[in-house]
Amino acid sequence: MSKKILLKPYADENLIVQFCEPMELTKDVSITVPRQFKAYLYVDEKIEAVVKQCANERVFDLLNKDRSYLKKQLQVAFVSTVFPKILWGVGDIQVKNSKLKQAYRVGANGECIFEVVNDRRFIDNFKFGTVITLDDIKKKVLSCMQMVASDAVATLFADTTVSVFEVTAKTEEVSMAIKKQLNEKELIKDMGIEVNTLTAKIFVPEEDMLMIKNAVNSEGDSDEV
């Protein structure tokens, strides 16, 4: 009697895709897919079925009891449908606002949550059969995120009537602009992911605020004279 095998993913939010070790497909191999996962059944490295939440289901049954699959190589990819937060941040962005005659530095940071919208494309961006972690994804997207955020912040603050003292009024607009521009990037599309939510916090260095405040006060004193 052959040994029964149960395949299931580890509970680790930093593991976005988990592959089981390749094995021979027999009637004794079963699979459990938790609620926040999807499983892709690869037979000889070709996807033959996608499995959602289930408990202790025979892989043979999930493949419609097709005996032609037996004794072939089985490998299962468990894909998490929940993405951990990625922290992002940009600073020292030079802003020259001709409307308000203000020049200063501005920075922004926040959290971003991606979601996988095309699992196959996402998996194909990495070496087949290897675990895909949050750090692996950061290496691919972080520089793109920083570039997009820098451009969005610089553009919005260069052409606004919002004073440097009220930069937080642009928070939602900055968040929406970064999210929209990221989702339009080919790198993001090619990875089969998109931004689900993105938060932003805007800040200006204290010395820049003080410099502009002094300049405004000086102008006021000159007007009085």
Looking at residue 2, its pLDDT comes to 63
* Pair of tokens at residue 154: 């610089």
Within 13 Å and on the Cβ side, how many CA atoms surround 166? 6
**Could you read off the pLDDT tens digit of each residue along the chain, which spans 225 residues?**
468 999 999 999 999 999 999 999 999 999 999 999 999 999 999 999 999 999 999 999 999 999 999 999 999 999 998 889 999 999 889 888 777 778 888 999 999 999 999 999 999 999 999 999 999 999 999 999 999 999 999 888 887 787 788 888 889 999 999 999 999 999 999 999 999 999 999 999 999 888 888 877 776 555 554
Domains and CATH numbers, the chain: 5-80 (no CATH), 86-220 (3.30.479.30)
Question: How far apart (Å, rounded) are the C-alpha atoms in residues 219 and 224?
Answer: 9
Query: What contacts 184, CB < 8 A, 6 or more positions away?
Result: none
Residue 22 sits at the vertex; the CA angle it makes with 20 and 26, to the nearest 5 degrees, is: 100
Looking at residue 77, its pLDDT comes to 97
Looking at residue 153, its pLDDT comes to 92
Side chain identity at 45, as an amino acid letter? E
Looking at residue 1, its pLDDT comes to 47
DSSP annotation string for 54-116: EEEEEHHHHTTT-GGGTTSEEEEEEEES-PPPEEEEEEEEEEEETTTTEEEEEEEEEEEEEEE
Looking at residue 225, its pLDDT comes to 44
Contact indicator for 46, 124 with CB cutoff of 8 Å = no
The dihedrals phi and psi of 7, each to the nearest 5 degrees, come to -100, 135
